[in-house]
């Protein structure tokens, strides 16, 4: 690995440590996105080439996007598209995901978010097809999702209206939303948290759906949701 990096660094023509650090960062973001695409597929959060992922470098403001309609198990670092927050392509020859503008709109309005996964899941999409929100019915949902997961109004894929509807459904601090008849958007401060968001969303949707089949689910109060979300953010885990 070290030999490969040294060879790439030497061939790049970069001449100082700052340039080398930038190269390392670029390689890491691209590699992480490639890895995450395979993970999304392996976790059954999408099928075939649907869905998309992105990462934001909070230092430089660059956004790394998966390419459009390419199988996740074949994507390489060279296929990743890099742009700025205005959508200007900086690196990559591939066509970026059709939901590029959706990702960028979220990043411009949510400085707390550095990773976005657009999934096409089975369980939460049941409620997306019904155009129904998923309320907070389990503690994990309250802690990780921050309350009710709203369903964005329907708009065609890849359109500005879908991006606007998504941002509205997410609100100022929501971690996920449903896309009517389409899929879900899952956010995180990093890719690990974005996958956690997606996993908990599917868990809560599955439990809520089962509960509805046998009775009337009891929804957690706003006060308890707020307490558990704050506890997760500021007290749960080591070093807090």
User: In which order are the strands placed within the sheet that holds 81-83?
Assistant: 89-91, 81-83, 63-65, 52-56, 115-119, 183-188, 176-179, 151-152
* Alpha carbons 154 and 132: distance in angstroms, whole number: 12
Given 32, 99, 140, 202, which residue is catalytic?
A: 99
- Cβ burial of 193 (10 Å; 0-12, 13-18, 19+) is middle
* Alpha carbons 88 and 82: distance in angstroms, whole number: 9
* Alpha carbons 164 and 185: distance in angstroms, whole number: 13
Backbone angles phi, psi at 200, to 5 degrees: -65, -35
Is 122 noted as a catalytic residue in this protein? no
Q: Which residues belong to the active site?
A: 99
């Amino acid at each position: 690995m070290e030999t490969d990096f040294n060879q790439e660094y030497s061939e790049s023509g970069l001449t100082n440590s700052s340039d080398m650090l930038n190269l390392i960062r670029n390689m890491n973001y691209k590699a992480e996105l490639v890895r995450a695409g395979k993970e999304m597929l392996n976790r059954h959060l999408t099928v075939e080439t649907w869905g998309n992922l992105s990462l934001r470098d909070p230092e430089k403001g660059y956004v790394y996007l998966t390419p459009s309609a390419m199988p996740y198990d074949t994507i390489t670092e060279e296929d990743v598209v890099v742009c700025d927050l205005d959508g200007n392509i900086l690196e990559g020859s591939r066509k970026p995901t059709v939901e590029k503008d959706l990702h960028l709109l979220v990043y411009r309005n949510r400085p707390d978010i550095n990773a976005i996964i657009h999934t096409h899941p089975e369980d939460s999409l049941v409620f997306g097809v019904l155009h129904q929100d998923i309320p907070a019915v389990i503690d994990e949902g309250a802690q990780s999702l921050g309350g009710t997961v709203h369903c964005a109004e329907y708009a065609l894929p890849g359109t500005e209206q879908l991006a606007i509807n998504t941002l509205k459904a997410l609100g100022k601090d929501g971690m996920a939303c449903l896309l009517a008849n389409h899929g879900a958007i899952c956010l995180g401060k990093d890719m690990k948290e974005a996958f956690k968001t997606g996993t908990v969303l599917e868990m809560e949707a599955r439990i809520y759906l089962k509960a509805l089949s046998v009775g009337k689910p009891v929804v957690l109060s706003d006060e308890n949701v707020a307490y558990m979300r704050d506890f997760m953010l500021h007290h749960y885990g080591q070093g807090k």
